[in-house]
Amino acid sequence: MRKRDALMLYGGEVIGLKIKVTDSPDPTLIGREGWIVDESEKTLIMNVGERGEITVPKKGLRFTVEDFVDSHPSAAIISKLGRVEMDGNMLLHRHHSRLKKVDKIIYSKKGRKEV
């Protein structure tokens, strides 16, 4: 993934993405799907349909982006990349403060980290 694409995804807005959990410290969350409707510094709130909303911790979470609202700021990148897998550890801050932190993580002085 190019640096610019990673910065847009991880440094940008995640509300409005439909995700599927692929890995989590809590095995009951694996396979859960839903739309992200809100986020805090350490959690995502997913609407999972008839069951309502669930709160999932970002730490240790891995998920794929299954769908997105057409007006989502990352829609063009997600469409271009196809299947996108994201790491919740990279989202451990509020979206407005993530961009600078993500840039440091992806391209630290020690070398490039694969996202």
User: For the segment 61-87, what is each residue's pLDDT rounded down to a tens digit?
Assistant: 999 988 877 767 777 777 777 778 889
Residue 84: which residues within 8 A CB-CB, separation 6 or more? Answer: 9, 64, 65, 77, 78
Asked if residue 110 has pLDDT above 60, the reply is: no
pLDDT tens figures, 13-42: 888 889 999 999 999 999 999 999 999 999
Q: Which of 30, 18, 39, 33 is nearest to 95 (CA)?
A: 39
Residue 47: its pLDDT value, please? Answer: 96
What the chain holds in terms of domains, given with CATH numbers, is 3-105 (2.30.30.210)
**Alpha carbon distance 91, 97 (integer Å):** 10
Work out the mean pLDDT of the chain and round it to a whole number: 81
DSSP state of 49: G
Q: How far is CA 104 from the centre of its chain?
A: 17
